Amino acid sequence: PRRNQGIAGRFTYAYDSRYFAEFNFGYNGSERFAAHERYGFFPSFGLGYIISNEDFWIPLRNTVDKLKFKLTYGLVGNDAIGSSEDRFYYLSEVNPNDGNRDQFFGTDYDNHMNGVSVSRYPNIYITWEKSKKVNLGFELGMFNSALEIQTDFFYERRTQIYQPRAHIPSSMGLSAGVSANIGEASSRGIDLSANYSYIANKDFWIKGMGNFTLAKGRYEVYEELDYASYGQGYRSRIGQAINHNYGYIAERLFIDVNDVANSPSQTSFNGGAMPGDIKYKDLNGDGKITDEDQTFLGYPNQPEITYGFGFSAGYKGFDLSMFFQGNARVSFFIDPRNTSPFVNYDAGDRIGVQQCLDVIANDHWSENNRDIYAFW
């Protein structure tokens, strides 16, 4: 069994239905860290003020019956870092029966034994990933709460993110990678929701609702090579979204053999190109396509925008509800699981994996249709 310890507390205060305060704390311990890094204290507090309950607001209550401002700040700890198989970071992990480090010996080399390898080196300084969160918002009710609007602005700063070290010299002779709490990332955005209710009479009512969320995150600190000094700043993760696709930029398709011959070489990338193949962009200008020409593509693979809207209505005991939702500012690699609507994907169904929409299947390059911007 895995073991964690913790104690939590909560204190609340309210005065005259106008002023509110709350303080929470958690003191948590994780078995994954060494004794001096095992425990963390994570407090949070919140403040609220309902200005519409003030006496001077009485003349406005027929229009704005509720207006509340709120602010929260908190520090959160996360011990679910790295791989779940790395249970105790302060201890080394050794494989005494590694078949990849086997040896043959004896007079005729007819004896064989597996070798020993280090999977993880001990690090007594691995500790909690921490996150500071700030939320500022308001709640608005109008026309006897027929219209309700909630808006929240949020900011989060994650520190001590567990990441691989990039600057470990090979002269140290390490056989396994080394990671540490060195990364930092931030996210910010807005969360908006609105509801409107209308009751015509005892038999008929209608309600509309909608929500919108914009959230953008990026790496602030990431240990990596100094790509800028090599003229390859486009490879740096700093300033990029955490869940960002990484790869080659496809410019178009090759027209003919002359186009292939006069373009940057792709022999080291895919064994050579032919007419109709994808032509990739030579970002570093060295005349060939290599790993150094990869960069961040499109939007993150997690939506930066999510939204939804709908309505419900009732009449004499009958009711109807509809709700639509979607997302935007997201990129994904084209795959039947992402492009085929209303298909329940089964990992064992190879037909489901290989199926293709007609609009894609028919949009292809050929000798008779040398469209350099064809889908494939």
Task: Decide if 343 is inside a domain.
Answer: yes
The per-residue b/e assignment along 305-317, b for 16 or more CB within 10 angstroms, e otherwise, is bbbeeeeeeeeee
Q: Total structural domains in the chain? A: 3
Q: Is residue 362 part of a domain?
A: yes
Whether residue 257 is contained in a domain is answered as: yes
Whether 264 is in a domain gets the answer yes
Q: How confident is the prediction along the chain (376 residues), in pLDDT tens digits per residue? A: 788 999 999 999 999 999 999 999 999 999 999 999 999 999 999 999 999 999 999 999 999 999 999 999 999 999 999 888 888 999 999 988 888 888 888 878 888 888 888 989 999 999 999 999 999 999 999 999 899 999 999 999 999 999 999 888 888 888 888 999 999 999 999 999 999 999 999 999 999 999 999 999 999 999 998 999 888 999 999 999 988 999 999 999 999 899 999 999 988 776 778 888 899 999 999 999 999 999 999 999 999 999 999 999 999 989 999 999 999 999 987 766 666 665 665 655 555 555 666 777 788 888 888 888 888 7
In a domain, 266, yes or no: yes
Only one residue has tokens 């073991």, namely 3
Of 267, 292, 317, which residue constitutes the final position of a domain? 292
Boundary-marking domain end, from 292, 316, 351 = 292
Which residues, in sequence order, are bridge partners of residue 76?
131
Backbone angles phi, psi at 366, to 5 degrees: -155, 175
Residue 143 CB burial class (10 angstroms; 0-12, 13-18, ≥19): middle
* Predicted pLDDT of residue 358: 73
- pLDDT (0 to 100) of residue 336: 60
Last residue of a domain, one of 237, 272, 292: 292
In a domain, 97, yes or no: yes
Owning domain of residue 96: 91-125
Q: Strand, coil or helix: what is 242? A: coil
Query: Which pTM value belongs to this model?
Result: 0.83
Torsion angle, alpha carbons of 15, 17, 18, 20, to 10: 60
Asked if residue 352 belongs to a domain, the reply is yes
Does 256 map to a domain? yes
